[in-house]
Amino acid sequence: MKIIFLEGENLGEDMVFTPFLHLGEVTIYPSTSEKEMPERVKDADIIVANKLPMCEETLKDAKNLKLVCLTATGINNLDGEYLKKRGIHACNVAGYSTDAVAQHTFAMLFYLWEKLSFYDDYVKSGAYMKNRSFSYFSQRFYELSGKTWGIIGMGAIGQKVAGIAEAFGCKVICYSASGRKYQLPSNRKQVDFDTILKESDILSIHAPLNSQTENLIDLQALKKMKPTSVLINVARGPIVNQEDLYTALTQNMIAGAGLDVLKQEPMAEDNPLIKIQDSKKLLITPHMAWAPVETRFRCRDEVVKNIEAFLAGEDRNRVY
């Protein structure tokens, strides 16, 4: 079996690939462009990739291809109809990053909620040394207890976030863009879109990107949110309209936003959000919520198990 890694560096410079070596002949490319892809996969039996498109244009010369393994949960880069037509199986990894993404959700929230960039700068500037009082809190901030935390997408990550939010004393409400009816404990409530926008003090997004969620958070949605609210997106960039978010933040329609994902990654030079340099208002991280050391190595191990299952004639995490 010829196993071709197309985006090895996406798992980190510290990644160890030896668990794959017993599975076949392994070739690892740190990165691959769409233009380079057809040549690199033409003899592959198995492809391991992350964001590259898996479609006729990139795979037509891969005559031996039997399996595509993603080092990710999202499958937007897979042309399912083409893969099924060719009889090519495809697997993702699911559930490996739940704790990590929930952790990052709260890291972003607290950074914004308690104006931590301002207070860190205040101390390090030397201003605190000249303060007459032992304490300084010119930028107002609030307790989480008693606030309403809205969650869009109550899958594994959404449920993890809900549990942590409740531990801080938040009331949790949720919304499903697909209309799915969640099975919820009595202390959580599923609401419609207008309600989650209007009632949430914190609104976090943990939903997949699809036709129902793309541009879900647009200007009309942002206008319905509380001017004191904070938006967190650790799901997929296109769920939030970037231009509309820029308008909402610069016109103080909401208090702040934390984004780990963007419409284009790496960030496009013309992204209007780069103009907002106030870290009390906007925090952007480079799609890293999934990337603690343990999480990345767990992702690797899940891909190994997917390939082992395939070679044994079993389906594991199969999406096509």
CA nearest neighbour of 114 among 143, 87, 86, 89? 143
pLDDT tens-place string over residues 87-146: 999 999 999 999 999 999 999 999 999 999 999 999 999 999 999 999 999 999 999 999
DSSP E strand boundaries for 256-315: 256-259, 282-284
Q: Which of the residues 34, 243, 265, 294 is marked catalytic?
A: 265
Q: Is 243 a catalytic residue?
A: no
pLDDT tier for residue 197 given thresholds of 50, 70 and 90:
very high
Output the pLDDT for position 116.
97
pLDDT tier for residue 15 given thresholds of 50, 70 and 90:
very high
Q: Which of the residues 40, 104, 206, 236 is marked catalytic?
A: 236
8-14 — which CB contacts under 8 Å span 24+ positions? Answer: 10/50, 10/51, 10/71, 11/71, 11/296, 11/299, 11/300, 12/291, 12/293, 12/296, 14/293
pLDDT tens-place string over residues 254-286: 999 999 999 999 999 999 999 999 999 999 999
pLDDT tens-place string over residues 211-257: 999 999 999 999 999 999 999 999 999 999 999 999 999 999 999 99
Output the pLDDT for position 53.
97
Q: Is 287 a catalytic residue?
A: yes
**Cβ contact 148:173 at 8 Å:** yes
Token code pair at residue 66: 């039997």
Q: Which of the residues 104, 287, 296, 300 is marked catalytic?
A: 287
pLDDT tens-place string over residues 172-193: 999 999 999 999 999 999 999 9
Q: Which residues of 134-157 are buried (b: 16+ CB within 10 A; e: fewer)?
A: eeeeeeeeeebeebbbbbbbbbbb
Report how far apart the first and last C-alpha atoms of the chain are (Å, whole number). Answer: 20
Distances (CA, A) of 247 to 2, 18, 215, 241: 50, 48, 15, 10
Per DSSP, the three-state class of 282 is strand
User: CA 41 to CA 52: how far, in whole Å?
Assistant: 12
pLDDT tens-place string over residues 17-75: 999 999 999 999 999 999 999 999 999 999 999 999 999 999 999 999 999 999 999 89
Q: Is 236 a catalytic residue?
A: yes
